[in-house]
Amino acid sequence: MFLSCFLFKNLSMGQAFGCLQVDQSNVIIREHFGKFDDVLEPGCHCLPWCLGYQVAGGLSLRVQQLDVRCETKTKDNVFVTVVASVQYRAVADKASDAFYRLTNTREQIQSYVFDVIRASVPKLNLDAVFEQKNDIAKAVEDELEKAMSTYGYEIVQTLIVDIEPDPHVKRAMNEINAAARMRVAANDKAEADKILQIKKAEGEAESKYLSGLGIARQRQAIVDGLRDSVLAFSENVPGTTAKDVMDMVLVTQYFDTMKEIGASSKSSSVFIPHGPGAVRDVASQIREGLLQAQSLKS
């Protein structure tokens, strides 16, 4: 607004004195008795108003930008607002066409942008609109270039700067994305738990296997030790048999066990009625087991 007022103020002063100054990147349309006469380029020009010459108006040759917001619907019935930025400028060689042939340049450009976007976006799904925004911008630019070149304007560039779906749709898309990521995270967590369970089971199996080997070796050592003890006692004490030695060993272990149970202050063992005579039966059972083990080993 300030530029226009300043320009026409200078024009009025120039016409009053019969001369005119045109600023850089601007042109002035000169008429002679209401008919187009010439395009005045930047510099100083003579304007004899007394001979019927006058200034019809000015035109800027600078690049201008128009932002157009267009609401339309995609193929999957989602309403979106597409924001297109159109950069254009008047061509100096066609300044007369740009000045006389269009009443409102910005509205004309906006109409073409609406037409192309509303013809292109409804053919695409919402995801495809985001992926092919450059193709949409190229279609808008080609249509504008073809239409506006006849009016003396050049389309410098057309950009699709924003695509805004309905807020509810945008929220739903974010929730879908979040749910998909949560599903992937749950699968990964379940796979990790599975690996831990497998490793734990393998560790328990290995532990039980090694524990079984230890118990087997312990029992084998006990059997070997008792055998050596019986043989040594029989050799050192003439007249004793292996049965006598085993009875003595079992009685000794019996009393050692009773001593350990009684020595514990926190013992909660329950004793049932029994007597030393029961040791004989226990001894015979253990002896039979040891003899069976030795026979199986041999």
* Nearest-angstrom CA–CA distance, 48 and 131: 59
Mean pLDDT of the chain: 79
Cβ(111)–Cβ(63) below 8 Å: no
- Residue 3 has a pLDDT of 36
- Residue 266 has a pLDDT of 67
b/e code 221-252 from CB counts within 10 Å (16+ = b): eeeeebeeebeebeeeeeeeeeeebbbebbee
**Which of residues 232 and 43 earns the better pLDDT score?**
43
- Residue 50 has a pLDDT of 79
Mean pLDDT over 79-83 rounds to: 91
Helix (H, G, I), strand (E, B) or coil at 275: coil
| Residue 160 scores a pLDDT above 70 | yes
Instruction: Take residue 177 and report the two structure tokens written for it.
Output: 């994305």
**Which of residues 165 and 15 earns the better pLDDT score?**
165
Residue 294: partners with Cβ closer than 8 Å, 6 or more residues away = 223, 227
- Residue 271 has a pLDDT of 54
Q: Which pTM value belongs to this model?
A: 0.54
Query: pLDDT tens digit string along 39-76?
Result: 888 888 887 877 888 888 888 889 999 999 999 988 88
Neighbours of 160 (CB within 10 A): 20
Which residue type sits at 185?
A: A
Mean pLDDT over 120-143 rounds to: 90
User: Measured between alpha carbons, how far is residue 55 from residues 162, 197, 277 in Å?
Assistant: 41, 91, 140
